Amino acid sequence: MTAIWPIAVITFKEGIRNRAIYGISIFALLLLGANLLISSMIMQEVGKVAVDMALSTVSFAGLLLVLFIGINLMAKDLDKKTIYMVLSRPISRFQYILGKFFGMTLLILVTLSVLSIFAGLSIVMVKMSYPGYFPRFSWSMVALAISFTTLMLILLSALSFLFASFASTSFITLVLTIITYIIGQSISDVKALVEAPQIVGIQVSPLTVKVVQIAYYIFPNLSLFDIKTQAAHGLAVSPSYIFWVVSYGFIYTCIAIILAAIIFRRREFP
Amino acid sequence: MKRFLAVSLLCILLALHLFTLGRAAHQRKTLPRNVDYSYVLPSPILKITALEFDGLASDFLFLQALVFEGSTFERKERPRVKEWEYRWMYNTLSASTDLDPYFFDPYYFGNANLTWEGNLIRETNTMLDKGSRYRDWDWMLPFYIGFNNFYFLQDNEKASEYLMEASKRPNSPSLLPTLAARLAYKGKKTENAVIFLQEIIKKTDDESTKKTYEKRLNALKGILFLERAVVAYQDRFKKPPEKLDELMTKDVIREIPQDPYGGEFYIDKDGSIKTTSNLR
């Protein structure tokens, strides 16, 4: 543990000093500003659209954070060979991975907290302009949705560590992570579609159905963490759902990090 | 000297930039439309491509339909919106509500535009039915379906079923059960429709939608007024009038109300009051 914490702190500092974080923040602020504009075009459910915009912005900015800062934190070490410096010290490779991962988790937590404050402000601003159009609004659901997004991003960054442990360049890690994100977000919809293709009038071969069903169990089901619709309409999410999704996220993240450590331990550096 | 050249070159280029931008943007307008208003992706495909942003995609589909409808007000031709455009609007709103079935605005907007002018009654009802199932706390949607069944499809039995359903939901107006009961009687169609519309207008707060409904209400009030005059005429002269003018010449009424849609009221062969504008 004593070796892990310094690595986590240095990783966090490295991430927060990255210039890209300013770009992401400005982009997020612009989108949250757009919230006011778009909400003003809605006739009835202004609150729903304001929450939609705020939560989607937080999600998307978090995704950019994982993809363009998170991946660099570990993959750049490998790219630029600075990893030799770290590995020559008395820490195991497992500690190194774990330290990096905790640093990244910390970065996600801090950045998303800041983003949530701004998202909250944008909702408050819309709410003050159109106070009568927030009939089913609840702050606790908004907070829950952001927490779920945070969990999803931590899971995704764990997977990016897994890819970095065997990929030869950071670019490959980036591509693999993006693909995993897209598959993870859509796999349950795709599965539903290929299992009942007659709804849209297409034909699907039995092989495709099998492939999708197998993929469903391999790739993470990221859409489980998406409760933006429920949050936007103030619909109830049962405690048991929260429990099972959190457990699922935790277990999948652990698997990804342990696999990453195993592969990384066997990796040989030229 | 070199710096002067560079600065003047930059100035010229900046001016050219503005000029070319203007020309290119102008030419762009003459290109065939790149937004295809005839086809909407099936909702399962939209759901997949929207990733985790289903709600946002639903908002934007709704806004697309809204902005399109708004853009048609600049048109000079009649009818303002063509039949296939209404169908496209219906498909877009339907996809929007597939992505987020709890979103009230597409139902609200669809009901205001697709039924009266678009003539897509059954389709709109199917869409509203979906909304009514998901938004089980909201009395407005079954109320809309009830009205459409009563007014357009002349299915009073179904209409009163939906009204009863609406009256069971929280905050519904107290007159709903009475209205449902009234529908059980045949006739009095226009009068009931006026009551319905007045209730809808009470719950409509954005100005443009309100105006559309108020226009209809005024037209219906005109028809109701004439229907009552015809009944009075019949009572007095023991035969129905052949033309509306007779109501005036025989002093039953002072003047014939104006159709807010720009048409003229007349008595149809079956004795009912119609208008040349067909309320569109």
Residues 6 or more apart from A205 whose CB is under 8 A from it? none
From chain B residues 102-141, the ones with a CB under 8 A of any chain A CB are 102-105, 108-109
Percentage helix, strand, coil for chain B under 3-state DSSP, each rounded to 5: 65, 0, 30
pLDDT of residue B38: 63
Which range (A48-62, B66-80, B184-198) has the least confidence?
A: B184-198
Closest by CA to A46, choosing from B235, B270, B108, is B108
State whether residue B103 is helix, strand or coil.
coil
C-alpha B18/C-alpha B138 separation (Å) is 52
Task: Name the residue facing A52 among B48, B56, B206 (closest C-beta).
Answer: B56
CB atoms within 10 A of CB B194: 17
pLDDT of residue B185: 60
Question: pTM for the whole thing?
Answer: 0.81
Range of the domain at A242: 4-266
pLDDT digits (tens, 9 = 90+) for A185-197: 999 888 988 888 8
Instruction: Give the number of domains in chain A.
Output: 1
pLDDT digits (tens, 9 = 90+) for B210-253: 887 788 788 888 888 888 888 888 888 888 888 888 888 887 88
- The verdict on B170 touching A (C-beta cutoff 8 Å) is no
C-alpha B255/C-alpha B240 separation (Å) is 18
Tell me the mean pLDDT in the region A109-116.
Answer: 93
Confidence of residue B11 (pLDDT cuts 50, 70, 90): very high
Confidence of residue B265 (pLDDT cuts 50, 70, 90): confident
pLDDT of residue B62: 94
What is the token pair recorded at B21?
């931008």
pLDDT digits (tens, 9 = 90+) for B184-212: 665 567 777 787 778 778 877 777 778 87
C-alpha A33/C-alpha A53 separation (Å) is 10
Tell me the mean pLDDT in the region B60-69.
Answer: 91
Confidence of residue A246 (pLDDT cuts 50, 70, 90): very high
The answer to whether residues B154 and B188 touch, using CB atoms and an 8 Å cutoff, is no
Q: How far is CA A6 from the centre of its chain?
A: 24
Confidence of residue A116 (pLDDT cuts 50, 70, 90): very high
Q: Classify burial at B262, counting beta carbons within 10 Å of its beta carbon; exposed 0-12, middle 13-18, buried 19 or more.
A: exposed
Select the residue from A35, A42, A223 to test the B interface by mutation, using most B Cβ atoms within 10 A: A42
| pLDDT mean across residues, chain A | 89
Phi, psi of A69 (to 5 degrees): -110, -50
- The verdict on B206 touching A (C-beta cutoff 8 Å) is yes
C-alpha A240/C-alpha A68 separation (Å) is 34
Q: Is this complex scored with an ipTM above 0.90?
A: no
Closest chain A residue to the Cα of B204, Cα to Cα: A44
The angle subtended at Cα B240 by Cα B237 and Cα B244, nearest 5°, is 105
pLDDT of residue B280: 67
State whether residue B195 is helix, strand or coil.
helix
Helices A46-65 and A20-39 cross at an angle (nearest 10°) of 170
Q: How far is CA B130 from the centre of its chain?
A: 18
State whether residue B273 is helix, strand or coil.
strand
- Strongest mean pLDDT among A35-39, A231-235, A244-248, B48-52: A244-248
Checking if the pLDDT of A63 tops 90, the result is yes
**CB distance A226–B54 less than 8 Å?**
yes
Confidence of residue A257 (pLDDT cuts 50, 70, 90): very high
**CB distance A52–B206 less than 8 Å?**
no
Checking if the pLDDT of B34 tops 70, the result is no
Percentage of residues in chain B with pLDDT exceeding 90? Answer: 29
| pLDDT mean across residues, chain B | 85
Give B-chain residues touching A189 at CB under 8 angstroms.
44, 47-48
C-alpha A73/C-alpha A178 separation (Å) is 16
C-alpha A21/C-alpha B95 separation (Å) is 36
- The verdict on A188 touching B (C-beta cutoff 8 Å) is no
- The verdict on A49 touching B (C-beta cutoff 8 Å) is yes
State whether residue B262 is helix, strand or coil.
coil
C-alpha B159/C-alpha B161 separation (Å) is 5
CB atoms within 10 A of CB B105: 25
Closest by CA to B159, choosing from B136, B137, B140, B142, is B142
Give residue B105's identity as a one-letter amino acid code: D
pLDDT of residue B227: 85
CB atoms within 10 A of CB A158: 26
Tell me the mean pLDDT in the region A211-217.
Answer: 91
What is the token pair recorded at A199?
């709804």
CB atoms within 10 A of CB B45: 14
pLDDT of residue A61: 94
Q: pLDDT higher for A85 or B12? A: B12
